[in-house]
Amino acid sequence: MEGTDNKEKGKKKGNEVKIFSVPFDIEPIQENNTLLTFSFTKLKKEQLFNQAIEFHSEGNISEARKYYQYFLDQGFSDPIVFSNYGLILRDMGKLNEAEKLLCKAVELKPDFADAYVNLGCILKDNGKLKEAEASFHKAIILKPNFADAYSNLGSVFKDMGKLKEAEISLIRAYELESENKNVSNNLISLLTLYKPKNSHSYPFYLINEEFRRINLAIKKNNLITDNEAIQIYKNGYEIYKKYNLNIENNLSQIYKRNEINLNCDRHMLIFNQHKIIPEFCFSCYKVQVEVDSVIELIKLFLVFNKLNLKNKNTRKCMIELRNNISGFYKGLIYCLSLNDALAISEKVNIEIQSNIRNDLISKIKRGCSEFPLEFPLYKEIRKSGDQPMKYDQNWKRIEEEVDKQKRDWTTSKKTVEGFNLNDFLIMRNWIAYAIKIGDESVIQVTKEQIKGPIEFNYLNRKFSPKRI
């Protein structure tokens, strides 16, 4: 499954949401977490409110969740709490519960334009693109110059495959708030799928064109040297500094997509909500390559970029952020059958051994990495005959019930060829990750101290390469 190996820690697809602060002074709590309930009882409504907001703003989601829940358990009611807590539930995959909380927020405060934006983001994740579009339009009616609403509306249009409409909305957002980094990121993300007619009409269009001119070509049957891989980042960094860019995103995966829609949002929603594996996913395989450093990940990106496959299979390079999944640096190619995966694996092995190192070998895996955590037998693969785990026909009724709701799922568009600004920003997050986990090879790439997304502050992974 294409979109589910990481989910970008709940920040996928460029949606921006808003956490709301409150006007009260925050009084820090010193009690140990084991005395959390006791500390709660000492706090007034305003203190609970503020402490929850503080934790949420700092990215300490587990503590924020406890405070929001306790606030509601005491019978307190506030649209800001409903909105913020809904965002946490969204990131946990509890989309139906999140949707209910955001609906409650706008019910309590019908002119709460920001909550309509947050509701739209949740509806979008829940496969309700048309309802999400309506929610963003409502926010714009309430706040006609609301950049975040236009930006998210553009993101929905992008998912619908309406790229020109997406551009119009995103440009409007950019004109309203050119310094809004979320708006910039959504516009930059659009440029991975869309070529504007006039590439010089806006600054990011011009900058993106410069990134596209970076040469990603590699020599056939020649090892990519460390310096050649590092130079890709350095070439991007020169453009980044030339324009004094101060933007970052929270993404961790660089994709090269085809136009085959694997409908991964649907499949993962079914798995998360019903703990079953959709029937489609029993024929979904992936070829995985795991490398040992951030420099090798850049090399793998170069190999995947030029890899010529008959069906132009969607592929990605990524850093592993999930604490319950092993590995650090990975590349994945998505396949629609086991035979397809077997053939691609053989071809990939030739390429990675001639371009990266001669002992590197790919593996064939089935579906999404989360599935075998719930169903261990699912990961077992036989090269011929029936697979150890078959689809449970009793699950078909559940899938049919979900499909009766007629959700609007994201369409798939082919990635624009070449390097781009979005790829470079993700590569910077790879470097921040390498610094965080203790990958010493990163020193060869740059001396920058890149912090990366706020989620990296709570990353609990210690680097241990397979090769000594």
Q: Residues 174-181: what's their mean pLDDT? A: 94
Coil, helix or strand at residue 320: coil
d(CA 88, CA 269): 16
Q: Residues 317-330: what's their mean pLDDT? A: 92
pLDDT value of position 405 = 86
Length of the chain counted residue by residue = 468
User: Over the stretch 210-223, which tens digit does the pLDDT of each residue have?
Assistant: 999 999 999 888 99
> Is the domain covering 10-190 a CATH 1.25.40.10 domain?
yes
Coil, helix or strand at residue 34: helix
For residues 13 and 29, which has the higher predicted lDDT (pLDDT)? 13
Structure tokens at 36: 């959390």
Whole-angstrom distance between the N-terminal and C-terminal Cα of the chain?
Answer: 32
For residues 20 and 368, which has the higher predicted lDDT (pLDDT)? 368
- Are 151 and 175 a contacting pair, CB within 8 Å? no
Name the strands in the sheet holding 363-366, side by side, starting at the edge strand that comes first in the sequence.
253-256, 315-319, 329-335, 285-291, 363-366
State which amino acid sits at residue 103: C
d(CA 345, CA 209): 33
Structure tokens at 64: 């924020």
User: Phi, psi (5° rounding) for residue 290?
Assistant: -115, 125
d(CA 151, CA 174): 8
How far is residue 165 from each of residues 140, 144, 205, 229, measured CA to CA in Å? Answer: 16, 18, 17, 37
Confidence of residue 20 (pLDDT cuts 50, 70, 90): low
- Are 272 and 373 a contacting pair, CB within 8 Å? no
Q: How many CB atoms lie within 10 A of CB 76?
A: 12
pLDDT value of position 37 = 39
d(CA 52, CA 65): 7
> Which secondary-structure segment (H or E) carries 323?
none
Which stretches of 246-293 are DSSP H helices?
A: 264-274
- % of the chain surpassing 90 pLDDT: 69
User: Over the stretch 337-362, which tens digit does the pLDDT of each residue have?
Assistant: 999 999 999 999 999 999 999 999 99
For the ranges 16-30, 64-78, 189-203, 385-399, the lowest mean pLDDT is seen at: 16-30
Q: Residues 122-145: what's their mean pLDDT? A: 96
pLDDT value of position 30 = 28
pLDDT value of position 193 = 95
Q: Residues 189-198: what's their mean pLDDT? A: 92
Domain-wise residue ranges, the chain? 10-190, 240-415+422-468
Opening angle at CA 358, ends 356 and 362, nearest 5: 75
pLDDT value of position 18 = 59
pLDDT value of position 466 = 66
* Nearest CA among 413, 263, 406 for reference residue 336: 263
For the ranges 95-104, 336-345, 456-465, the lowest mean pLDDT is seen at: 456-465
Q: Residues 253-279: what's their mean pLDDT? A: 92
User: Over the stretch 284-320, which tens digit does the pLDDT of each residue have?
Assistant: 999 999 999 999 999 999 999 999 999 999 999 999 9
Mean pLDDT of the chain: 88
* Nearest CA among 63, 157, 101 for reference residue 408: 157
Longest Cα–Cα distance in the chain: 68
Q: Residues 404-411: what's their mean pLDDT? A: 84
Strand 363-366 with 285-291, pairing: antiparallel
Say yes or no to pLDDT of 374 above 90.
Answer: yes
Q: Residues 397-411: what's their mean pLDDT? A: 89
- Are 379 and 365 a contacting pair, CB within 8 Å? yes
pLDDT value of position 24 = 28
pLDDT value of position 416 = 95
Opening angle at CA 83, ends 273 and 56, nearest 5: 90
Confidence of residue 108 (pLDDT cuts 50, 70, 90): very high
d(CA 445, CA 448): 9
State which amino acid sits at residue 322: R
Say yes or no to pLDDT of 61 above 70.
Answer: yes
d(CA 29, CA 9): 27
pLDDT value of position 41 = 53
- Please enumerate, as own/partner, the contacts of 136-141 that have beta carbons within 8 Å and a separation of 24 or more: 138/113, 139/113, 139/114
pLDDT value of position 3 = 44
Structure tokens at 99: 């949707």
Give me the DSSP letters along 116-153. Answer: HHHHHHHHHHTTBHHHHHHHHHHHHHHSTT-HHHHHHH
Coil, helix or strand at residue 189: helix
